[in-house]
Structure 1
Amino acid sequence: MNTIRSLARRAALAAAATAAVASAAAVHAQGSTADEIAKYRQMLAEGNPAELWEAAGEELWKKPAGPKNASLEQCDLGKGPGVTKGAYAELPRYFKDAGKVMDLEQRLAYCRMTLQGLTREEATKNPFSSSGKPSEIERLVAYLTGESRGVKMNVQLGHPEEKRTYALGEKMFFYRGGAYDFACATCHAVDGQRIRLQDLPNLLTDKGAQAAYTTWPAYRVSQGEVRTMQHRLYDCLRQQRFPEPAYGSDVITALTMFLAKNANGGTYDGPAMKR
């Protein structure tokens, strides 16, 4: 109950900060729009409610659950069973035990099934929270990504499957479709583009990919929830009017691999805070 009250207080403060900054920007706008937005984000980051999601995720990570009444503390995220520090900065990657490349959310579902005995349906249930339906997955992801804060992105293509997955992700990035005949590249393959007040990073450059990828997952002030990378890509495809991707699908992992590899060398700084 205390955690819920704390979440509500943080969310209310974040919403108040959003309104205050928006009002100040309208009356006292100075410098470029991008500069003002940067100041707004800095103000919000000082009280990021994502910290509460991280704390809740750590509790879930250590709590015995499922038919096997086991915690997730022996889950191997690529650096050995139970090692969480820096693991996210090296994902997606190939996992020999599963025989495939996995991103964090796929791997988390795999560990919930193998360690805790959950079915796939149970392990992937409610991946994105909604009103009155909090998501355990979002909280676990917040905790695990936070364990790589300050670590340099270092996604490798040493295994043939990693190279194949990266190539598939690159193809997906440039693939045009949907009612608008859009691709990810339509908005994110050139410099200087903007939608509404948002600068659109060029994800083909080191600077653009690093700035974008290293700040997700993120607490969305407008939604009052921490949203994962799967949710971010799902929402992008929705706006492009692409068919809805299945949660944990290999094509989303491939697109994540492409973006994560392009962000190599950037310092991970999530979960961050977004509008």
Structure 2
Amino acid sequence: MRTRNIAAIAAALAATAATVPLLAQESKSASDGIAEYRKMLEDGNPAELFEAKGEDLWKTPRGPKNASLEQCDLGLGAGVVKGAWVQMPRYFPDTKKVQDLESRLLTCMQTLQGFDADEIAKTPFDKGEQASVTALAAWVSSMSRGMKMALPQKHAEEKRFYELGKRAFFYRGGPMDFACASCHGEPGKRIRLQDLPDLTRNPGNGIGFAAWPAYRVSSGELWGMQRRLNDCFRQQRFPYPGFASDVTVALGVYMGVNAKGAESIAPALKR
């Protein structure tokens, strides 16, 4: 009897061991399937429509001052767009602030075109001039596609914002006791079929920070990094942060510096 029991246990263990590779294979196949799905859609990424709109908005005289944004300084000199996205957020001497792409675009829209930056910041996403900011971000980021992330960390404020972003990334709170790090603080995590990149380090080319702005297939909208962070705060059950607030810019600095060397594919395609 004892011999038969031992034999039965051994057989059960052998069967369990045999299923482990199959489960791993199924998991891998799910991830591969999502990757293939994205690949198929790449040639027709709707973000291209936003890119075209953004380029038009950049070159067209608009606003109370009837001026274009062609003299906007994104950190590399007035009007220089190529390569600017992969070096943002960064410190700007004229505003004496560390700014990300979207907050810098607000500054240019106010100083060059006469728009009210505060009013635009209060406007809901995808409405009015907020939609213009998103389209502009799509075009500007596309002009750095294929380039490596290389955020500067020379200025004291850039270094300070990195540390602030790090603290915000690991800060846990709210009814769910969540932090950004709860989902993106270590490798190998996923939600359902969605792989979650480790944003405490360079997660690889075109993943994480280097992929935004991005077109969200699930919502049929283009999201900038500000909106993406806004949704992360929602999922943590935190109050929504102010558009282009210091905490969102600081998180951008932290993730962007950690992504050093990653190839930008923005605006990308997301689920």
TM-score by length of 1: 0.85
- Secondary structure at 2:166 match in 1: helix
Partner of 1:138: 134
After the TM superposition, which residues 45-124 of structure 1 pair with which residues of structure 2 at under 5 Å, given as runs?
45-124=42-121
- Specify the alignment match of 1:217 in structure 2: 213
Q: 1:167 to 1:70 in 2, by over 3 A?
A: same
Q: 1:204 aligns with which of 179, 186, 200?
A: 200
1:1-275 alignment to 2 at 5 Å?
32-124=29-121, 126=123, 128-129=125-126, 135-207=131-203, 211-275=207-271
Amino acid at match of 1:228: G
Larger Rg: 2
CA contact (8 A) 2:124 2:130 kept: no
Shift of 1:124: 3.1
Q: 1:118 to 1:82 in 2, by over 3 A?
A: same
Segments of structure 2 that go 5 or more residues without pairing to the other structure are: 1-25
Q: SS state of the match for residue 116, structure 1?
A: coil
What amino acid is aligned across from residue 113 of structure 1 in structure 2?
Answer: Q
Amino acid at match of 1:111: C
1:35 and 1:171 map into 2 onto residues whose CA distance is 34
- Distance across 2 between alignment mates of 1:57 and 1:177: 37
Q: Give the paired residue count.
A: 246
Q: 1:168-193, CA deviations, whole angstroms, 9 ceiling, x for partnerless residues? A: 00000000111101000111111211
SS of 1:32's partner is helix
Q: CA deviation at 1:125?
A: 5.5
How far is 1:267 from its partner? 0.9
Tell whether the 8 Å contact from 2:205 to 2:263 is kept in structure 1 after alignment.
no
CA distance 1:127–1:260, change in 2 (3 Å) = farther
- What are the Cα deviations for residues 40-60 of structure 1, in whole angstroms up to 9, with x where unaligned? 110111210110100001111
Q: Which runs of 5+ in 1 are unaligned?
A: 1-28
Contact map agreement 1:219 1:225 (CA 8 A) in 2: yes
Runs of 4+ deviating beyond 4 Å: none
Contact kept, 8 Å, 1:210 with 1:264, in 2: the verdict is no
Pair 1:57–1:128, CA change in 2 (3 A): same
**Cα distance in 2 for residues equivalent to 1:134 and 1:249:** 15
In 2: Cα distance, 1:150 partner to 1:172 partner: 29
1:21 counterpart residue number: none
**Shift of the alpha carbon at 1:126?**
3.5
State the shift of 1:104 in Å. Answer: 0.4
Give the fraction of aligned pairs with identical amino acids, expressed as a percent.
Answer: 55
